[in-house]
Amino acid sequence: MLNLAKGRYRARLASTPDDIEAAQRLRWRAFRGQGTPGDGRDSDDFDAACAHVLIEEARTGALVCCFRMLHLPSGAEIGRSYSAQFYELSALSEFDGPMVEMGRFCIDPDRRDPDILRVAWGAMTSYVDEQGVEMLFGCSSFHGTEARDYYDAFALLRDRHLAPPRWLPRVKAPAVFDFAKRLRRKPDLKRAQAKMPPLLRTYLLMGGWVSDHAVIDRDLGTLHVFTGLEIRAVPPGRARLLRMVAG
């Protein structure tokens, strides 16, 4: 059972309906914002099949971050994933090790402490080690649906971080921005890094890769790229740092 305390924060698995509701309300604030019609909860049918990780402030118990995990025995079940709604993932059906889809990752919009992301990755590392997971994957989101706001970031992904051909997701969603084909610019590295979502930046630092296109998700008001990370590809130095947080 995941139970991690580091500095000001602690990570644990949701264990009650109230825990799940708290995560759904934080997700609503992070993804849908104020003034959106609805009951203030972001929920879907995948919630029931997932384990939910809560990152809380140790002193107050305030929920500052959450994400959910869908465990798959192998790529043969990739069609059960949330990501499979948006990406054609048949190539990954050949992956023969345990996989975890990390989804709905969000941090309280009013929080700016980088230790929150650090503890979240420590919690994920602990789970990966305990369960023998060999690949993490999911959708990494950019705020908003205007691709032009992220041209430099997408150009950097095209140049340095595309998925290996054997795993490359194909287009499935009706609305996409095919940055690998459409962008011709060279990325401005400073602007690209500034526009890269923190979660995606961490994936990439660990050897992660992305799809060659972004899905335009008007429901959540985001652009997202499929992101994969083979655990054996994580540089040893970064793996040691993550395990120091997880230990």
**pTM for the full predicted model:** 0.92
Cβ neighbours around 165 below 10 Å, total:
7
Residue 35, pLDDT above cutoff 60? no
Compute the distance between CA of residue 227 and CA of residue 57 in angstroms, rounded to an integer.
28
Contact predicate 20/52, CB 8 Å: yes
b/e code 90-106 from CB counts within 10 Å (16+ = b):
ebbeebeebbbbbbbbb
Contact predicate 135/188, CB 8 Å: no
Q: What is the mean pLDDT of residues 49-65?
A: 96
Per DSSP, which regions of the chain are E strands? 3-6, 9-13, 51-57, 63-72, 87-88, 99-107, 135-143, 170-171, 176-177, 209-210, 214-217, 222-230
Q: How confident is the model at residue 37 (pLDDT cuts 50, 70, 90)?
A: low
pLDDT tens, 163-221? 999 999 999 999 999 999 999 999 999 999 999 999 999 999 999 999 999 999 998 89
- Per DSSP, helices labelled H in 7-132 are 17-27, 114-131
- In words, the CATH class of domain 3-246 is alpha beta
* Domain definitions of the chain by residue range: 3-246
Contact predicate 54/2, CB 8 Å: no
Q: Residue 97 carries which DSSP code? A: S
Residue 89, pLDDT above cutoff 80? yes
